[in-house]
Structure 1
Amino acid sequence: MNASFNRRQMLVALGIATVAGAGFKGNSLFAASSVDSNLRFGKAQNFSWKGLQAYAMELSRHPYNQPKPSPEVMAIDYNAMVKISWRDDKTLWANDPERATRFFPVNRAAPVPLKIYVVESGQSREMLFSDDLFNAPTDSPLHKLPKDQMGFGGFRFMNPDRMHDWLAFMGASYFRAAGDQDQYGLSARGLAIDTGLSHPEEFPVFTRFWLEEAPNNGIIIYALLEGPSVVGVYRMTTYQKNGHVVQDIDCTVKLRKTVERLGFGVMTSMFWYGENNHRSGKDWRPEVHDSDGLALWTGKGERLWRPLENHEVTRVSSFSDVNPKGWGLIQRDRNFDHYQDDNFFYEKRPNLWLETRNNWGAGAVNLLEMATKGETDDNIGAMWVPAGQAKAGNRYDLSYRLTWLNSEPLPKPSSYVIDTRTGMASDDPVGQDERWSKPGLEKIVVDFEGSALANLPREGVEFVVTANQGQIIYSSAAPVAGFSNRWRATVEVKPVANQVMELRGYLKKGNNAISETWLYAIG
């Protein structure tokens, strides 16, 4: 995940780059096609998903020759990229407002030259790269690329105004969508290898893409994933629905080598500080984060919510499951006043929800939380790690749906967590005074809201909370004054020194749970 920093900066730069155009007449081999005639293509080849899967399986038998970026590629840095733009008259599917596509050149954040193909009627043709496809200053390092280092660095699908994009791929296996409010935030990845371990992780790369028109203004993105330890192919049927971006993904992955930790359905986000750890932020804004919690829908149907945290050291939490229904990194807090940022608009950041579409078997959703001192690091990760050793020769065939949206994809539980706050445990009978603090204890306050709590009598409701270790000193639940459907749960705990205390709690009335399950880790 530490490779995300430059990619994140680069995508911000590209989002504000201007677009202009003046063109030459290219030589297209797509006669009478919807593909723009100003692009040039190679010879036609037969193409199918089954054929691509077979090719990947054969490729897995051979070692990966990882390209080494030249100094000229690495010279295309942030400053150089903001001066480079795709020529408007070279836009792929230029006359289609839903599919108009532009491309990035290789650059420091995406140094592996990609091959891009367009598929039509079972035939694929490579889109030929040239620096003439871009507007760039005459002294740009783009014009100095060695022949074997020329290539695309990624691509993006444009909004009808051509000023912004709604989905972009660039760097390793990263991609991200803007969501309902045209605001980028978190990212997805095709695959993660050895993420969050003591040794460096491996970053497999989407090295080839095939783009094909699909019904209902959709686009099918086929991708070949390559790395020293893996080969894989992905089919992503992508479309916009009610402002959301939806991707139905099928993947076939085979390991060349045994790896320690293999992650699928990978999401990366940023959490600097929020209401639960506001003391760790040295900024004037009340909160800064792209996502504030991990939502889980287990194979047994339980709904879980785990607030995110910026720890002092890297921490991995594992949530075991069998055939999970889904999970996602969610920005549940949508109140501008809680962020006060009228430049980056954190309240508009999209959520990303993964819904499984076949049986994923046994494994765990891993949540990775790395320390950060700013908002430019993607320090949060979530992924599915299959049970058992990820051995060389293992094959995985998984199907899932990604939805990028600003609401939550599932109906909210009858009551759900809206805030988690931490602070000093105190015996002060009037307020909070450090002179009355309880050394070694911590206080956590959790607010729940929802229809199950509407005008609920106080009697008979309790906050059921358990811990894997340490002591729970006190817990309570009560309605919040002035609200008809909000309750506040309070718990004081005594963690074990230098140990992580995992808490699990929910509201209960009689024999029935009346809220989703809240998870939290301290220590």
Structure 2
Amino acid sequence: MFLNVFKLVLHRRALVLALTLIPCIPSLAFDFSTVAKKAKQLADSSYKEPQKNISQGLANLNYDQYHQITYKRDKAYWHAQNLPFELTFFHQGRQYDTPVKINEIASGRPRAIPFDPRAFDYGSNKLTSQDLRHLGFAGFSVHFPLNAQKTKDEFLVFLGASYLRAVGKNQAYGASARGLAIDTALNSGEEFPRFVEFWIERPSAKSRQLTIYALLDSKRATGAYRFIVKPGDETVTDVKSQLYLRENVTKLGIAPLTSMYFFGENQRAPVEDYRPEVHDSDGLSIASGTGEWIWRPLVNPKRLLVTSYALSNPTGFGLMQRDERQSSYEDLRSRYETRPSAWVEPTGKWGSGRVELVQIPSPDEMNDNIVAYWVPDQLPKPGMPINFDYRTSWGKEAQQHPPLSWVTQTRRGQGMPRKPDGSVALYIDFDGPIFKKLPRDTKVTLRVSADANGQIVESHAYPNDATGGWRAAVRVKRVDDNKPVEMRGFLQTNNTTLSETWSYILPVD
């Protein structure tokens, strides 16, 4: 018996010695590849429709009632740690009827952030304990001392489907971005993918950027995303994405931007309104990658308008708010002049495809009726990865100007006011540094064209003494009043281009 015990002791010592000699293998830290694997696993499995989990009381809240539910600022995540970034959360209710999982990553390891109804202020809403059972978050917002060192301002929001929006310094929310758009403006109907789970890295005490991971899911696509967010005068989100298709799609919209255009300088208000303009964005800007810049003023059409620009490896596109003068809006509540421009800049080469612009009729300013995105010509087979990386900048439009000159406004009027002949007059103002370099007697011309439904009656360009730029005037007639007219024009001298390309669609009245 003594011999057996002795052998057992020796065996245990040998086992301990062997274990001490095995090198420590650290657990893998959470990173983008972790989310990409989850996206691939989702794509390889059948789609599961998200389950609604809110009570009838929460579902029946009206707009004002829902927005009375706010997260208590003293309960903000990381507030007690006095970190530069803080998180607050959105409550479920109304259309936000399925929860979103939100996790914190600390020391490379994720852990769930639990929902706690005690962290919310419910205002005057009369909700029962039954209404608040088994809930989760609808989304979250990020705060940072953007405008003043002693105050943490909300500057970034993820809420609803795959929507996010951000602002730069001294700005108010306007245009939004999305993770992905599928079959937008097709008769088959649009599919809205959702961010179903987030992982947010805990910042350090000196952090000036925040890393957010997101998992996207929908009936026909899944995706992994990483957002590196840098707030400032211009807030920047660097986006890395890897997508998988479950099924073939007709149209895949990459880096979608969404905005609102009700009326403006080129389209009068449908009814009497004291405000000259009402819009979050006034144009689509495109840097083609060949040196050409394109500007398309937005419209609120009477019929759905879908137009596109075929390109190869564009250097950028965005929905811009070029007019930043308060006198152009005169709305002291909405402050449209403070809405940011949203500019998408591809990282690397995106290949061939098109920037597509969708303009939807809207009876008021409550609807986001403008969408722009990149549509690649080639898509992988279901199950194969596709990567698109890009940077979205939220800030003043001047930060993304063309180098020579650009359109500052497009105004529309009757072609022959005294003797109406059915023509339309368009006045386009250009401004930019190139005009300061031109001798006063330089001959500048407008090169303008229209499609088969438009007849250019006359056109000319002349100095704008009020601004120091140039003004172009065009008079055009329709061939068929029931069809739109596509027009293009730019300034030139001696066959040298002086401006971006003004690309305009004259919609059906």
> TM-score normalised to the size of structure 2?
0.87
Out of 96, 117, 121, the residue aligned to residue 110 of structure 1 is 96
Distance 1:282 1:173, change over 3 A: farther
Q: Which runs of 5+ in 2 are unaligned?
A: 1-26
SS of residue in 1 equivalent to 2:421: strand
Tell whether the 8 Å contact from 2:319 to 2:342 is kept in structure 1 after alignment: yes
* 2:447 alignment counterpart: 464
* Offset of residue 55 of structure 1: 1.8
* 1:176 alignment counterpart: 165
Out of 28, 31, 40, the residue aligned to residue 57 of structure 1 is 40
* Offset of residue 437 of structure 1: 1.2
* 1:127 alignment counterpart: 113
1:233 aligns with 2:217: no
1:79 aligns with 2:64: yes
Paired amino acid for 2:104: V
* 2:209 alignment counterpart: 218
SS of residue in 1 equivalent to 2:65: helix
SS of residue in 2 equivalent to 1:414: coil
SS of residue in 1 equivalent to 2:197: strand
Out of 444, 448, 457, the residue aligned to residue 430 of structure 2 is 448
User: Take 1:302 and 1:422, find their aligned partners in 2: how far apart are those partners?
Assistant: 25
SS of residue in 1 equivalent to 2:164: strand
Paired amino acid for 1:280: P
Q: Is 261-270 or 383-392 further displaced after alignment?
A: 383-392
SS of residue in 2 equivalent to 1:505: strand
Distance 1:393 1:467, change over 3 A: farther
Question: Superposed, which structure 2 residues align to 1:155-166 within 5 Å?
Answer: 155-160=140-145, 164-166=153-155
* 1:98 alignment counterpart: 84
Distance 1:199 1:193, change over 3 A: same
1:503 aligns with 2:487: yes
RMSD over equivalenced CA pairs, Å: 2.2
- Percentage of identical aligned residues: 36
Question: Superposed, which structure 2 residues align to 1:106-505 within 5 Å?
Answer: 106-136=92-122, 140-141=126-127, 143-145=129-131, 150-160=135-145, 164-213=153-202, 216-241=207-232, 243-388=233-378, 392-426=382-416, 432-433=417-418, 436-439=419-422, 441-454=423-436, 456-458=439-441, 460-469=443-452, 470-483=454-467, 485-497=468-480, 498-505=482-489
> 1:171-217: CA deviations, max 9, x gaps?
10111112221311111111111111223311111010000035742
* Offset of residue 162 of structure 1: 5.9
Tell whether the 8 Å contact from 1:272 to 1:281 is kept in structure 2 after alignment: no
User: Take 2:427 and 2:439, find their aligned partners in 1: how far apart are those partners?
Assistant: 19
SS of residue in 2 equivalent to 1:128: coil
Paired amino acid for 2:312: V
SS of residue in 2 equivalent to 1:223: strand
Q: How many residues are paired up?
A: 469
* 2:3 alignment counterpart: none
Tell whether the 8 Å contact from 1:116 to 1:209 is kept in structure 2 after alignment: yes
User: Take 2:83 and 2:425, find their aligned partners in 1: how far apart are those partners?
Assistant: 53
* Offset of residue 110 of structure 1: 2.3
Distance 1:77 1:63, change over 3 A: farther
Tell whether the 8 Å contact from 2:70 to 2:91 is kept in structure 1 after alignment: no
Paired amino acid for 1:152: F
SS of residue in 2 equivalent to 1:347: helix
* 1:22 alignment counterpart: none
* Offset of residue 515 of structure 1: 0.9
SS of residue in 2 equivalent to 1:196: coil
Distance 1:162 1:203, change over 3 A: farther
> TM-score normalised to the size of structure 1?
0.85
